Every structure is written in structure tokens, then in C-alpha cells.
Amino acid sequence: ILAPTVHGSHARRVYMLAVVVAAAGFAARARTLTPESSRWPQPHTLARRRQLQVAMLEEEAGPSLPSIPTVLYTALGATAVYGLSEKVPRLLSDGPSEALAPLALDVFFFGFACVSLAKGMGLIGKIDYAALDGRDVGSLAKEAGAWAAAGEVPTQSPDGFEVATFAGGCFWGTELHFQRIPGVVATCVGYTQGGVPAPTYEQVCSGTTGHTEALQLLFDPSECSYESLCAKLLSTVDPTARNRVGNDRGTQYRHGIYSHTPEQAEAARRALELEQAKQSAPVVTEMLPARVFYPAENYHQRYLQKGGQNAAKNAPEKVRCYG
């Protein structure tokens, strides 16, 4: 992509520097996503492991390395600026020439890098929670947006349904799994357990905000129990894989059960203990109190259903996360 803007020995050096910086950022970020046994002592009890999880989350809440996209966009912008610094004076002194095409490319790449960085920092593209889908289409997004705007962590909806929050990797697939459960009244996807208020998809994808892609839902406990919802979540992930579900890797894809009440916390503990009894490796699914849940952009809501997959109750078809 950068090759058309590289002219002269100085520009080539800038280009190579950008490649080195990008490679260093990639390697550093990869290290942060790799489980290390030295940071995850073998726990003797489930309770002890939960204490370790909380400690690790607090550790990871501090300053983090720039994400790979941030490094790449910065390098792209810097290279474009260098190209412009060479071409604009030449254009002004010599007039229009065959250098117009490379100049236009530099302008394009600089603009693209600036917009991408602004999105990654949440400066543009904020989510309008009031415009999100509502219950009329089976979505909890608009209500969840109102709760998020007020900084609330609800336990019940105004009409008496219980609230639950789970994370299971790519939230498109997680949502469809739970949409199909009888007793689940409404669902929405979003971001939780992070340190940046009202994040956007681009910010969360950077892996630097601390959020995980998650699902919030309303359910009728007379039709489905919270324990059964926990069991469903655990059946859709490898509970022994940290920061990974399927081919999706990163802290934003960690799986977790986030309880809204002490009763939910106790049910989650039992579900994880049952799951641990089936596994030879430690179960690393988070079990933490629910925090403010920020609904995602509207195009993410009921994404797989909109794409043609069956969201009917007890639908037997396989959930295809990118279908």
C-alpha cells in the first residue's frame, strides 16, 4: 500500500521505519494475548481462581500497548506526511506534473489514517443509543442504551423480566444461540467489563479498552433458569481457552458470566464447578459482577438473524458466526 508513495532514499528510510514499528507493535501485542503459565498459577479451588482472575483484570486495566491497527495507521499517516512534504513544494515551484497521482495517493492515505485513528480513539462515530432497535423487533438494545447512559446495572426490566449478561467470543453467534432459547424475551450485543465509557466497535477491537464482546438479555425464569443459561454459554465455548473462542483471539473475545444478583453469582459458581469437573485443564471463564453494559452499533444487533439465519425458538440449524 505504501510503495507508491516511496520516492528517494529518505522516504525509503521512513518506509522501512514504519514497517519496523508495525512489526514491533504486532510482536508486542501478540505477547499480551498469549497465555503465560507464570501469570496463571494453578489454583486449588474455584474460589481461589476467581480471586486470581480479578487480580489479573486489575493488572491489565493499567496502561496498555498500542494496538496493531493504531501502529499501522500511525505509520501510514507518517509516511503520507513525509511524501506530502516532498511533493507539495515541488508542485508549487514546478506546477502540475506527472507527480499529481502520487500526491493524490498521499492525500488519500493521510485522510484515511486520520479518520481511522479518530474512530479508534472514539472521537468520531459515537453510538446513538436512542436510535437503537427496540422490543418491537425482539431487541433489548434501546433499553440497554438507556441503562448505559444512566450508568445503571439493572437486575430486572420494568415489566419484571430478569437481566443476564454473558460473553462468548464473537457476539453475533452468542446472540443467536440465546435468541433460540424459549424464555429468552429480548437480546442485544455490546461491550462490558472495560474501562472506557461508551466505546465503539473500533475501540473495542483494538484490544486496549478492557471490554469484551458480550450479550445482555431478558429472560423469564418461569420458562428457563439462569443455571440453564450459564450451561448454554459454556457449551458454546472452550472454557479452558483464555482470550480465545474459535479462531477469534484477544482480550475482547474472552468468555464470561457476569452476575447481576447474588443469586445469579451463586448459580454461576455452581455451573462453573460442574464444568470444571468435566475438564482436565483449569476453566478460565470469567465469573465477575456485572458492570455497565454498552450496546453495540445497530448493525451488529441481531446480525446473523438479519443475514438469514433462523432465530426461532429451538431452531436446530448450526449457528454460523460469519454466515
Selecting among 170, 188, 224, 321, the annotated active-site residue is 170
CA distance 314 to 34: 36
**From residue 223, how far is each of 165, 270, 274 by CA, in Å?**
18, 20, 22
Residue 70 CB contacts under 8 Å (≥ 6 apart), including other chains? 25, 117, 120, 206, 208
Instruction: Check if 170 is active-site.
Output: yes
**From residue 302, how far is each of 140, 142, 178, 190 by CA, in Å?**
10, 13, 11, 11
Residue 127 CB contacts under 8 Å (≥ 6 apart), including other chains? 145, 198, 200, 294, 295, 296, 297
Backbone angles phi, psi at 257, to 5 degrees: -120, 120
Find residue 249's DSSP bridge partners.
244
Tell me the pairing of strands 248-249 and 162-168: unpaired
Helix count (H) and strand count (E) of the chain? 10, 8
Cβ contact 2:15 at 8 Å: yes
% helix / strand / coil in the chain, to the nearest 5? 50, 15, 40
Active site residue ranges: 170
